[in-house]
Amino acid sequence: MESGPDGRYSRQTLFAGIGEAGQIRLGEARVLVVGAGALGSVSLDMLVRAGVGTVRFVDRDTVELSNLQRQTLYAEADAEESAPKAESARRRLAAVNREVTLEPLALDLHAGNVKEVTDGVDLILDATDNFETRYLLNDAAVWRGIPWIYAACVGSYGMTFTIVPGRTGCLRCVIPDVPPPGSSPTCDTAGVIAPAVAAVAAYSVAEALKFLAGAGEDVVATGIWHLDVWERTSYRMEVGGPDPDCPACGQRDFVFLRGDAGPAAITLCGRNAVQVRPGIGTERRAAFLEELVERLAALPDVAASLRRSSFLVQFEAEGRRLVVFPDGRAIVHGSGDPAEARTLVSRYIGN
């Protein structure tokens, strides 16, 4: 750790809430950030600059031009390359702090890999854009008994919810079931501004630093914090302790962790796009993308738009743009209909 009056963390250790002892604890901590988009960009940058020892982060998507307005880790070159966010984030973060161990994972988090991805971490930060993944994180965190911090923002407002298994209620205590599609505003319908993203991420990371620096659970915020940067308002809604009737923390029935409730197609927030992933347990061969390119090149209506990079394959079909990853996932752009997306993936990529 670079110490001293002019060291990397000198101003942070002057803060009474962290100090020298807290900084040492930060350097020994392991954090998982799920999502490297808007909230993930800001959170990752702050965690790495704060000197958190190991930062693991997972993201399934690539960088696009529309991301740059609020996703601060990326540049135009990343969008032009359609680079995976996990890789672009790694490059940027590696240039920020050489003391931090980075563990980027360019994959889709699901019931088949969530136990491995969450193994060995001290805390989980939510930076996702869909409820399905959040409920999976809730199951995994409660099952492991580790804290996780829910975060969400849309328009000019957002919220955070610090969940400490055994002490606070969990996500399913508050919202027992995944809200139906269309029941909540999204980036597609309400947009989002960068100040809201930064504010929500700041709240989340502050809570994370409290845990990781050993400040104690008594200083950790309880309840759900709401804030609106446009209206300049904020308030807290109390949640209380674990509900004994909660399916997750009360009954320990982890349906999302088992994969009983996870859909194969997920509409992506703010993207007019749907991700379709192969079923859990479906293995792809190493030559999957090469074989796919060979098949698609033989289709006259597809061949002209076919592009292959070291990370993925892109092509256009039936008025939609499809992006295919080595693990078999596909993102269908230009459609918000999961049924249509699954049909196109089956037709051009296979089951």
Per-residue pLDDT at 57: 98
In whole angstroms, what is the distance from residue 149 CA to residue 350 CA? 37
In whole angstroms, what is the distance from residue 330 CA to residue 322 CA? 7
What is the C-alpha R_g of the chain? 21
Q: Which one is catalytic: 170, 173, 187, 246?
A: 187
Cβ partners under 8 Å of residue 1, min gap 6:
7, 8, 9, 23, 24, 27, 51, 99
pLDDT in tens, 196-252: 999 999 999 999 999 999 987 777 777 899 999 999 999 999 988 999 999 999 999
Burial 32-59 (b: 16+ CB within 10 A, else e): bbbbbbbbbbbbbbbbbebbbbbbbbbb
CA 227 from centre of chain: 20
Give the residue among 117, 133, 108, 79 at the shortest CA–CA distance from 276: 108
Burial 210-224 (b: 16+ CB within 10 A, else e): bbbbebeeeebbbbb
Residue 303 near residue 297, CB atoms below 8 Å: yes
Q: What is the mean pLDDT of the chain?
A: 89
pLDDT band at 286 (very low <50, low <70, confident <90, very high): low
pLDDT band at 187 (very low <50, low <70, confident <90, very high): confident
- Could you tell me the maximum CA-CA distance found in the chain, to the nearest angstrom? 66
* pTM of this structure: 0.83
The torsion defined by the Cα of 299, 302, 307 and 310, in degrees rounded to 10, comes to -50
Per-residue pLDDT at 216: 75
Find residue 31's DSSP bridge partners: 55, 123
Count of CA atoms in the C-beta half-sphere (13 A) of 203: 30
Burial 242-252 (b: 16+ CB within 10 A, else e): bbeebbbbbee
pLDDT in tens, 46-100: 999 999 999 999 998 889 899 999 999 999 999 998 899 999 999 999 999 999 9
Over 90: is that where the pLDDT of 289 sits? no
pLDDT in tens, 148-160: 999 999 999 999 9
- Residue that is written with structure tokens 């190991």 in the block: 54
pLDDT (mean) for 137-143: 97
Domains of the chain with CATH codes: 10-258 (3.40.50.720), 265-348 (3.30.310)
Residue 208 near residue 125, CB atoms below 8 Å: yes
- The three-state secondary structure class of 3 is coil
269 as an active site residue: the answer is no
- The count of other CB atoms within 10 Å of the CB of residue 272 is 12
Residue 60 near residue 288, CB atoms below 8 Å: no
Over 70: is that where the pLDDT of 327 sits? yes
How open is the CA angle 257-274-331, to the nearest 5 degrees? Answer: 95
Per-residue pLDDT at 270: 61
Cβ partners under 8 Å of residue 290, min gap 6:
none
Per-residue pLDDT at 4: 60
